[in-house]
Amino acid sequence: MSSTDRRVRRLVMHAYANVPYYRRLFDENGIRAHKIRGADDLQVIPISNKKDLQRDPGAFMAQGLESASLVRHTTSGSTGQPVAIFNSIAEQHAVNVGRWRLAYYYGTRPGARSAWVAITRPSLRLEGRALRVLTASRLYHQTRISCLLPPAEILRQLRAFSPSAINGFPGVIAQVARLALDDGGSEVRPRYVGVGGEVLTAAMRQTIATAFNAPVYDVYASHELGVTAFQCRSEKLYHIRQRAVVTEVVEGNQGAAEGRNGELIGTNLNAFTMPFIRYRIGDVVTKGPARCACGAHSPTLARIDGRALDYFRLPDGRLLHPFSFNLGLTPWIRNFSMIQERIDLITAYVVASSEQTGEQVTEVERSVRNVLGPGVAFHMKFVDSISPSASGKFRPYAGLASPVSADE
């Protein structure tokens, strides 16, 4: 039996014995926990989703735990209702160690100065102690900059701190990068920029890489599943952390083939306080090859396509991926948010980076309408700025409903 199979068996037995939601789910479906002996047997367990969690969050908690002794995280609420996710101190420590190992993989070394552009919060007890020890030993220096600050203030603080690594939401960092380019370039020169938490578009990647003269690495993570996959340093693929999570890419009612996209289903092997077993996270990804060309022994994802809610469902039944528009690659567009107001109406709120002629605007509108086809109206509205949500995230695209999770 492989180590992954042993961890799956341990998790499933724990969930059935201690977690009301999974005991009920197993009993209602005639599932015997002791017969699930590894990752391949997980297929017999019905898929759970965010609505199951939102209906009764307490049922996902292992019994006998005091919430006051746990670490609490809150999801961003992109589906409309934020939910609290709880970890034990030991589980949170494992999350932190995983992130530090990933930082080392990308080039962070003793003495590094790391800047996190994110929602600022009080340091967790364990994290705070660890950071104080590392800082006192001069092995590591970290600062947190609120992603809700104006881009100019974020850039000022980055210049003052002079980080060797920048991490945060790509939408915010891309705005800061564009401001730096407008100022004639940035003297901030990190070894790398790590982004995650929202879709990294090609335009965002290009802007960030140019402004900071550094590689940009995308990390795919969530509070429910932890760090699930991270971008290879030498290839475009994402390595799945198979020791931490069992993943499936599901297209319709079956597993997706390599190169096909589908919804990601994950089982977090490190979560015992709140187990997530065959959990639909709500993201669409493209399945990659079984091995990366770099030689790493892990399955891969080819692309993180975005939230299922970001797809556009059109009147003729088509499901349109928002990357089809290439709006972010238009030179004079600094930032945008493309919203499906109705099934037959899409509006792009645009912040222009330079003067544009009526002919240029007409050309963009024509190209988008050609993709949409007849029966769908498209308008561009120019605005001075687009603010992130309260979670600090930008949503460059927002469709009306999930095309993949129609059962939710």
Measured distance between the N- and C-terminal CA atoms of the chain, rounded to whole angstroms: 35
pLDDT in the model for residue 123: 47
**Model pLDDT for residues 310-349, shown as the tens digit of each residue:** 678 888 877 676 666 767 667 788 778 888 899 999 999 8
Name the band, by pLDDT with cuts 50, 70 and 90, for residue 271.
very high
pLDDT in the model for residue 85: 92
* Average pLDDT over the chain, rounded to an integer: 86
Residue 229's nearest CA partner among 263, 196, 269, 278 is 196
**Which residues sit opposite 379 in a β-bridge?**
347
- Rounded Cα–Cα distance for residues 288 and 76 (Å): 27
**Model pLDDT for residues 133-168, shown as the tens digit of each residue:** 555 555 568 899 998 888 899 999 999 999 999 999
pTM above 0.85, yes or no: no
Average pLDDT in the 160-184 region? Answer: 91
Q: Is the pLDDT of residue 408 over 70?
A: no
**Model pLDDT for residues 100-111, shown as the tens digit of each residue:** 899 999 998 888
- The total number of residues shown for the chain amounts to 408
Give the pair of three-digit tokens for residue 120.
Answer: 């600022």
Is residue 321 a contact partner of residue 311, using CB atoms and an 8 Å limit? yes
Query: Of 38-47, 89-98, 138-147, which has the strongest mean pLDDT?
Result: 38-47
Q: Is the pLDDT of residue 210 over 60?
A: yes
Q: Which domains does the chain have, with CATH numbers?
A: 311-398 (3.30.300)
- Rounded Cα–Cα distance for residues 318 and 103 (Å): 40
**Model pLDDT for residues 9-39, shown as the tens digit of each residue:** 999 999 999 999 999 999 999 999 999 999 9
Token match 């104006």: residue?
A: 150
- β-bridge pairing 312-313 and 279-287: unpaired
Average pLDDT in the 177-200 region? Answer: 89
